[in-house]
Structures are given as structure tokens and as C-alpha cells.
Amino acid sequence: MPEVRLVGEDGKQIGVVKTSEALSYAQDRDLDLVEVAPEARPPVARVLDYSKYRYEQAQKQKAARRHQQQITVREIKFRPKIAQNDYDTKKGHVTRFLLNKDKVKITIMFRGREVTHPERGTALLDRLASELSEIAVVEQSPTQDGRNMTMLLAPSKAVLAGDREKPGQDGAAPDRRARTGRAARANGAGEASQDASAPSGAGTARDASAPSDAAA
């Protein structure tokens, strides 16, 4: 390349100069001449400390990776004839994963003749997606592959934005208050029973001592 568009060490453009002049400019300042835009016409070359430049670029890439959202895909397996208790338990797992900003692959496993009724799997997946619509979006609609039917759920925009709290953040304090309230009521009941029995005991003691006083 006979000419380059030269950028100085301070970031200001010097202009289009011969390549040999650009090299001399960099050498006079004990710096490097680095081509930063080879596709431009003429190519853009910048005068800089190449070692420092590489270090800064590496730090920028590392910072960008730290700020990237890491998405994990979890999998939960259902049976088409799943019992309500099992359904509720697995739904709780799916909810926890979604609120943790993970994607969840829902798999319906068919056995034997169950595979002849795929509509049961579709209905189950549709039900789950509907019940979790506030925290999840269907990223991949139900599809059947052999004896398995799958659907992919992703966290909703509200979850990704942090507008929905993770499970366990709500409800813990009310439960403790409820237990404290029940304990207080139980203690109150015990104290009440002791108070109720106190007059009876006192009366008995006075009655027992009365004949002794009379005899005296």
C-alpha cells in the first residue's frame, strides 16, 4: 500500500501520507504503526503502543463476556398420564428454573400405546404454557420426535428485566409470622389455663387452713 490515512497517537487524523512517512512518524515517537481499517481506501493506520493496545482490547473483551447473559437449558420430563401431585411438583421445578432466567425443555415421554394419543401430550404442554404465561414464553412449540414430544420455554421479558422475584423471596416472612402467631396463641392458651387453675388451688389452701385457725 503506497499511502495510508494516518491517525496520530492522540486519535486525531493527520491525513493521507505515504506509508514510508507514516512509519518514520511512528518510529520518531518510539511507537508502532498499526493498520486498523484495512478495508478503507486508503487503509487507515494508527500510531500507538501496540502492547498497550492489545492489553486494552483483551480487557474490553473480558468485560463484554462478563456482562453477557448466560442462558442454561434445563430439562423436565413428564408422562402424559401424570398425577396431579407430580404435575404440581414438576411445575414448581420449571417455575424455579424460569425465575432463575434459565430456559426449560419440557419433554413428554410416551410408552407403549400412549404414543397413539399425541393429543394428550399436546394438551399437557399447552396447559403448562398457559399456567406459566406470566413468567414464560414458548420459544419452540410442541414437536414430536419418535416417542418423545418436546416444547422449549424461555423466561419472559419481565423475568429477564428482573421484574419478577425468585421463589423464596416472597412468603418466607409471612410463614415465620404465622408460626410466631400460632406459638403466641398456644402460649396464651397455656397461661390462661394456669390462671384458671390458680384460684382453685388457692381456695383449697385457704379451706384447708380454716379448721386449724378455728381450733386455735
Res. 210: pLDDT tops 50: no
What is the per-residue pLDDT for 196?
44
Residue in the block written with cell 397461661: 191
Which one of 64-78, 165-179, 197-211 scores highest in mean pLDDT?
64-78
pLDDT tens digit sequence for 23-77: 999 999 999 999 888 888 899 999 999 898 889 889 988 887 776 667 789 999 9
The SS3 call for residue 169 is: coil
Q: What Cα–Cα distance (Å) separates residue 164 from each residue in 72, 99, 173, 206? A: 18, 7, 18, 67
Res. 103: pLDDT tops 90: yes
Round the average pLDDT of the chain to a whole number and report it.
79
For residues 121 and 149, the answer to whether their CB atoms sit within 8 Å is yes
pLDDT category at 180 given cuts 50, 70, 90 is very low
pLDDT tens digit sequence for 18-36: 999 999 999 999 999 998 8
Spatial separation of the C-alpha atoms in residues 17 and 3, rounded to whole Å: 6
Spatial separation of the C-alpha atoms in residues 60 and 58, rounded to whole Å: 5
- Give the amino acid at 12: K
| pTM higher than 0.95 | no
Domains and CATH numbers, the chain: 3-52 (3.10.20.80), 73-160 (3.30.110.10)
Residue in the block written with cell 419472559: 156
Spatial separation of the C-alpha atoms in residues 206 and 216, rounded to whole Å: 15
Res. 178: pLDDT tops 80: no
Q: Give 156's contacts (C-beta < 8 A, 6+ positions apart).
A: 98, 134, 135, 136, 137, 164
